[in-house]
């Protein structure tokens, strides 16, 4: 069996657009007719440029190769151009193609992917969700309203979730780390207080940041949140400086989590070696794929750290996350996004029920992709999947930031 054909579909989730502006889906077919799906979580260049990168990588390193040879193809891509170092764009392309290879292998053997990478360790995976506006909420006001966030948290608790994530401390800017405005700290405390009152001790609070603070600023913010005992303090400083993240981890009594912008065991290993985080959050469509993150999970296990796969993408990456989570002993939880479009795109192959996901036993990733639906929603915009703002922190008027892909009206 050899990898033969590649098709790339860039699909845009309908309003409000949870999961980013677009998802890059890849369909790979072998010479024997077995077809596998993957998703490339890459946002540093536009989708047309990524088409070229994905095609070049497939033609150069994977076409006519046996899909079993995951390690060989990874080393080719990782070493391409005399590099042998993490490259976010190359690994974003490879990761989706690697996921498709596992889907092929599982279908060829009539086994789920997790059965091929160590077997079924976990019969169900604890799920968490970001707090999104409820139908009665305003898409703009929600992000700065502790009361509305608390209402959303209570609803998620009612649905069975035992962990909710929120991020009231923006902005994320291209300028790097900044000192939070006092209004940002006050608002973050208000969110934690309101959500904690809404859920009590029945759900964990996951405090999201996206690398926007200086070390000193992250410590100030983190210490202010300690009374509400969040389960994690996510990426408090830019991800390119693990030494400074380790300083935050040592100074704040909240576990530090990081990983959505990291790729390969080289970067995750540096985090573990520095003691910068005790929870790793790989996005499997960017981090190197399933096999590479199986290695990272083993490294984390040796360091008494846990895995919590990240998801701000489409449901094919989610399916890969769940297959990995099913096979490792140190899974903490996995991020989910539940929208009608996410569900329809994989024909309901994976669902959250009572706050948990049961890994599917169907072959491969365990999903059936609605290709017609994916093609019916092409991306026609000019923005990247996620974008940072150019303006810095506003110390006069306060900060209201919806993230790198603001919600859109339906």
DSSP 363-395: SBTS----HHHHHTSB----S-SS--BSS---T
Separation in Å, CA 410 to CA 13, 134, 167, 273, 384:
11, 14, 23, 46, 20
User: What is the reported pLDDT for 408?
Assistant: 80
Superfamily for the 116-363 domain: Enolase-like C-terminal domain (3.20.20.120)
What is the rounded distance in angstroms from the CA atom of residue 287 to the CA atom of residue 281? 10
User: What is the reported pLDDT for 42?
Assistant: 81
According to DSSP, the residues that pair with 28 across neighbouring strands are 6, 36
Contacts for 238 with CB less than 8 Å, ≥ 6 apart: 176, 177, 211, 212
**CB neighbourhood size of 82 (10 A):** 5
Burial of 324 (0-12, 13-18, 19+ CB in 10 A): buried
DSSP 11-41: E-PPTT-TT-S-EEEEEEEETTS-EEEEEE-
Burial of 53 (0-12, 13-18, 19+ CB in 10 A): middle
User: What is the reported pLDDT for 265?
Assistant: 98
User: What is the reported pLDDT for 139?
Assistant: 87
Cis-peptide, bond into residue 173, ω within 30° of zero: no
- Beta-sheet strands, E only, within 293-359: 306-307, 334-336, 352-353, 356-357
Tracing tokens 């700065």 back to the chain, one arrives at 144
Which stretches in the chain have pLDDT values below 70? 404-405, 409-410
Q: Which of 227, 228, 230, 295 is nearest to 256 (CA)?
A: 230
| Most distant CA atoms of the chain, gap in Å | 63
Q: Which of 337, 333, 302 is nearest to 317 (CA)?
A: 337
User: CATH 3.30.390.10: does it fit domain 3-112?
Assistant: yes
- Ordered by start, the domain boundaries in the chain are 3-112, 116-363
Render pLDDT for 227-242 as a digit per residue (tens, 0 to 9): 999 999 999 999 999 9
User: What is the reported pLDDT for 167?
Assistant: 94
User: What is the reported pLDDT for 249?
Assistant: 98
Bridge-based pairing of strands 23-30 and 3-11 is antiparallel
């Amino acid at each position: 069996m050899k990898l033969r054909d590649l098709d790339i579909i860039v699909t845009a989730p309908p309003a409000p657009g949870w999961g980013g502006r677009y998802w890059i889906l890849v369909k790979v077919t072998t010479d024997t007719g077995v077809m596998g799906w993957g998703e490339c979580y890459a946002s540093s260049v536009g989708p047309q440029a990524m088409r070229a990168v994905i095609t070049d990588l497939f033609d150069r390193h994977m076409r006519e190769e046996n899909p079993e040879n995951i390690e060989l193809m990874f080393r080719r891509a990782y070493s391409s151009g005399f590099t042998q170092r993490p490259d976010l764009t190359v690994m974003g392309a490879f990761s989706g193609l690697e996921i498709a290879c596992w889907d092929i292998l599982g279908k060829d053997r009539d086994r789920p992917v997790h059965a091929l990478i160590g077997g079924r360790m976990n019969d169900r995976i604890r799920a968490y969700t970001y707090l999104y506006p409820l139908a009665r909420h305003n898409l703009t006001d929600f992000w700065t309203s502790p009361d509305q966030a608390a209402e959303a948290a209570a609803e998620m608790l009612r649905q069975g979730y035992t962990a909710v994530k929120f991020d009231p401390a923006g902005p994320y800017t291209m300028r790097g780390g900044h000192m939070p405005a006092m209004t940002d700290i006050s608002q973050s405390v208000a969110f934690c207080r309101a959500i904690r009152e809404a859920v009590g001790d029945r759900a964990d609070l996951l405090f999201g940041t996206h690398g926007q603070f200086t070390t000193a600023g992250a410590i100030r913010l983190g210490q202010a949140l300690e009374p509400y005992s969040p389960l994690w303090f996510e990426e408090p400083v830019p991800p390119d400086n693990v030494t400074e993240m380790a300083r935050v981890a040592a100074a704040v009594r909240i576990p530090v989590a990081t990983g959505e912008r990291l790729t390969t065991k080289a970067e995750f290993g540096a985090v573990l070696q520095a003691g910068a985080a005790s929870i790793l959050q790989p996005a499997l469509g960017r981090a190197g794929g399933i096999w590479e993150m199986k290695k990272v999970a083993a490294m984390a296990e040796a360091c008494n750290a846990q895995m919590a796969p990240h998801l701000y993408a489409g449901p094919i990456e989610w399916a890969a996350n769940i297959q990995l989570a099913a096979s490792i002993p140190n899974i903490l939880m996995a991020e989910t996004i539940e929208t009608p479009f996410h569900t329809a795109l994989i024909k309901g192959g994976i669902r959250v029920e009572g706050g948990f996901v049961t890994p599917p036993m169907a072959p491969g990733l365990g999903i059936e992709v609605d290709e017609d639906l994916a093609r019916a929603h092409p991306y026609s915009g000019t923005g990247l999947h996620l974008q940072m703002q150019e303006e810095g922190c506003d110390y006069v008027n306060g900060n209201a930031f919806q993230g790198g892909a603001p919600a859109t009206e339906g």
